[in-house]
Amino acid sequence: MARNLIFISCLTLVFVWQAAAQNLTTSGGGYFEEATFNFSWSMGEPITETYANNGAVLTQGFQQSLLEPVGIHPEKSSAGFKVQVYPNPTRGMVFVKFVQESESIQELNFTLYDLVGNKLTTEILPTESNLLDMTGLPGSAYFLRITGEGFQYTVLIQKFK
């Protein structure tokens, strides 16, 4: 009988500890909530990094959102084709693919920007399937802007080390 009582007490404590709210002690921060969004921030850790190895991702920092995979996210254009950029996140090579729906693919330009907005490269994408080499770039987030006649598409590409 005493064993059962100890077991039930320990089991209850485990459930109570797991139900406790998460707390953060930092030098500053705040939380705001509206009907359509919430915003949470904290101060105290000026530099964070993200490491990836064999499919596992580790992000340093106090507050971490869920890392949602971006994957292949086609964007349908009014020009009659879809754009696919993959793999995203990447370690180096990124494929940019155009899927025709009605007319032939026009000549498209792409420009790669860093997070600050510095233009890193500008090239013409002549074919339906193109390869973008990002192996020489440091691990960070980049914006790929694809433009053509009556078409503009921007995608965020996450590059790991």
| Torsion of the alpha carbons at 108, 112, 118 and 120, rounded to the nearest 10 | -100
| Spatial contact of 140 and 115, defined as CB atoms under 8 Å apart | yes
Q: What is the pLDDT along the chain (161 residues), one digit of tens a residue?
A: 788 888 888 777 766 666 555 566 677 777 778 887 777 777 766 566 666 777 666 666 666 655 554 444 455 555 566 778 888 888 888 888 877 665 555 677 889 998 888 999 888 876 666 888 888 898 888 998 888 777 778 888 888 87
Note if the pTM is more than 0.75.
no
Distance from C-alpha of 7 to C-alpha of 13, rounded to nearest angstrom: 10
| Spatial contact of 80 and 103, defined as CB atoms under 8 Å apart | yes
Give the E-state strand segments of 44-150 in sequence order.
50-53, 56-59, 75-76, 81-86, 93-100, 108-113, 119-125, 129-133, 140-148
Q: How far is CA 121 from each of CA 134, 146, 157, rounded to the nearest angstrom?
A: 11, 12, 14
Q: Can you list the domains of the chain with their CATH numbers?
A: 75-159 (2.60.40.10)
Bridge partner list, 158: 141
Both tokens of 123, joined, read 């090239």
Residue 44 neighbours by CB under 8 Å, 6+ apart = 26, 27, 28, 29, 62
